[in-house]
Structure formats: structure tokens, C-alpha cells
């Protein structure tokens, strides 16, 4: 009897051990970081650079009642804003360029940059930098300029706080990167977006207002444009010099000019 009980116990223990071993087996994804120091293409994803994809993703689009205008940029262009990150909830879902989001790849979402633009992102809190490839649209939150993958946010030390002020520098296109030859602090300003800060029926009033705000933050300059409204001229005062639609929106959120809004030049 004792022998039978021992035999049953040994067999039962062996079965439990086998199933426990199966349950404990796990598979760990090994991040394949896409950053390399010279011209290269990330190995983890086949990049789609088809004309049809670029044509489709460069069209204006609306999200949350706002229209966004994808814009061509040049190597060396720099921008600044707030970075956030997105992770597990989007892992495996399709991005705007048709790829599947992989939280362990060095990618990011941007509202207007061309797909597969390579961008060096620098966390201004700790000066850490990483290069990411744009393959998605977003983030659609005021003041945020880029949404980083989990891997990129980890490298920049953003995971814990969730956001950080960053500087972006365009370092390549079509998934290819190279060190920029431009001065590190050079800012290239695009002229596609204006912010209206005033409107006057009287040209002299518009001139006085424009002169008072002829240089804002030493970056934005005023200009006057004449239109017709209800059969009479109206003089609108704009600020120009914004590097992107996102930068113009950030400026409006500061609340310096009541009723200001963005127009496309």
C-alpha cells in the first residue's frame, strides 16, 4: 500500500512538473534598434517608399475638427516642442503609412513631416539624443510635436514622466540617415503658416498695430494684407516665420493676442 501511494505521488508530481514547465515558458522580444551612425536602413521593417504612399500621406487631413497640412522639409531643419510616447496599446496596429507599429522599433508619429523622414530627437532636460523614423501621424494633443515609440522614449529617458521638451533635427529621408552638416543651433523657418493677430478697417490703424508688433520673440515678423469684406477694404495683420503648423498653434495657446488664428500662406 505504501509503495502504491509513493508511486502515485511520484507520477502525479512528474505530471505537475511537466505542465508547470510549459506554463513557465516565455518568449521575450529582443528590441532591434533601427539607429546606425551612417547611411542605413532599419533591419526590422521593410520600408515602404512608394510614390502612392507618399502621395496619400502628404494630403491635408482633419482630426478633431482641425486641418493638418503635411509639409516638405530640408535636411538640417530644426523644430522644438513637447514629446510624448505611445506603447503597448498600439503595438501591432497599423500606422499611417501602412506598417504595423512595433513599440520596440525606433519610430515616431508626427503631424506633418513626410513619412520615413529621419529625425534626431534631443531631450532638453537631460541632453540625450536618438534618431527615429517617422511612420505615423500624431500626436493630436495641443503643444505636443512628436509621439515616440516605447524604445525611443526609453532611450531618451521620457518613460517615467511621460513627456519632455525636445528639439528635432531632420537628418535624412526615406529611412536613410547621415550626420547633418548644418550648424547645430541653426533654425530653418518655413513660410507656409501665418497667425492673424488683428484686423482693421483703417489702414493707418493696421500700420500702427503692425509696427508695434513688427518683431515678436525676435523670431516672428508682422505683415499687412488687404482684403475686401462686404464691399469695403479690411486690413489684416499677420505674424510670419513659424516653422510648422504645430509651432503656430503653440504660439496661439500662449494667449498674447485674443482671437488669433492660423492661416495657410
pLDDT reported for residue 3 = 45
Question: Is the pLDDT confidence value at 59 over 50?
Answer: yes
Domain stop point among 172, 207, 235: 172
- Is 112's pLDDT higher than 80? yes
What does the pLDDT read at residue 120? 93
User: Residue 127 sits in which domain range?
Assistant: 51-172
- Beta-carbon contacts of 75 under 8 Å, excluding residues fewer than 6 positions away, are 170, 171, 172, 173, 180, 182
Whether residue 202 sits in one domain with residue 162: no
**Cell numbers at 263, concatenated:** 492661416
Between β-strands 220-229 and 164-172, what pairing exists: parallel, antiparallel or unpaired? unpaired
Question: Does residue 11 lie in a domain region?
Answer: no
Tell me which of 172, 206, 235 is where a domain ends: 172
Number of Cβ within 10 Å of residue 205's Cβ equals 14
Q: pLDDT at residue 36 above 80? A: no
Same domain, yes or no: 129 and 166: yes
Residue 15 falls inside a structural domain: no
The CA radius of gyration of the chain, in Å to the nearest whole number, is 26
pLDDT value of residue 12? 46
Q: What is the pLDDT of residue 30?
A: 33
pTM of the model: 0.53
Do residue 65 and residue 168 come from a single domain? yes
Q: What is the pLDDT of residue 218?
A: 75
- Could you tell me the pLDDT band of residue 229, with boundaries at 50, 70 and 90? confident
Residue 21's Cα: distance from chain center in Å? 43
The model's confidence at residue 265, banded by pLDDT at 50, 70 and 90, is low
199 & 168 share domain: no
Tally of structural domains, the chain = 2
Per-residue pLDDT reduced to its tens digit, 91-106: 888 898 888 888 888 8
The answer to whether 110 and 132 have CB atoms below 8 angstroms apart is no
Amino acid at each position: 500500500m505504501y509503495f502504491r501511494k509513493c508511486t502515485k505521488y511520484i507520477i502525479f508530481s512528474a505530471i505537475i512538473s511537466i505542465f508547470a514547465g510549459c506554463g513557465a515558458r516565455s518568449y521575450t522580444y529582443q528590441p532591434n534598434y533601427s539607429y546606425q551612425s551612417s547611411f542605413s536602413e532599419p533591419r526590422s521593417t521593410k520600408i515602404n517608399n512608394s510614390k502612392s504612399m507618399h502621395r496619400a500621406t502628404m494630403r491635408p487631413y482633419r482630426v478633431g475638427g482641425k486641418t493638418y497640412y503635411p509639409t516638405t522639409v530640408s535636411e538640417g531643419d530644426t523644430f522644438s516642442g513637447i514629446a510624448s510616447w505611445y506603447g503597448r496599446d498600439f503595438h501591432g496596429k497599423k500606422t499611417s503609412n501602412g506598417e504595423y507599429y512595433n513599440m520596440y522599433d525606433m519610430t515616431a508619429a508626427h503631424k506633418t513631416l513626410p513619412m520615413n523622414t529621419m529625425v534626431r530627437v534631443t531631450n532638453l532636460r537631460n541632453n540625450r539624443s536618438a534618431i527615429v523614423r517617422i511612420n505615423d501621424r500624431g500626436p493630436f494633443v495641443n503643444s505636443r510635436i512628436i509621439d515616440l515609440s516605447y524604445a525611443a522614449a526609453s532611450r531618451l529617458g521620457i518613460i517615467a514622466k511621460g513627456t519632455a521638451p525636445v528639439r528635432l533635427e531632420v537628418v535624412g529621408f526615406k529611412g536613410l540617415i547621415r550626420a547633418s552638416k548644418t550648424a547645430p543651433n541653426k533654425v530653418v523657418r518655413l513660410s507656409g503658416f501665418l497667425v492673424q493677430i488683428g484686423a482693421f478697417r483703417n489702414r493707418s490703424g493696421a500700420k500702427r498695430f503692425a509696427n508695434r508688433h513688427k518683431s515678436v520673440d525676435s523670431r516672428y515678423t508682422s505683415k499687412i494684407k488687404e482684403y475686401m469684406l462686404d464691399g469695403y477694404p479690411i486690413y489684416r495683420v499677420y505674424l510670419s516665420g513659424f516653422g510648422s503648423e504645430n509651432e503656430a498653434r503653440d504660439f496661439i495657446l500662449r494667449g498674447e493676442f485674443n482671437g488669433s488664428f492660423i492661416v495657410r500662406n
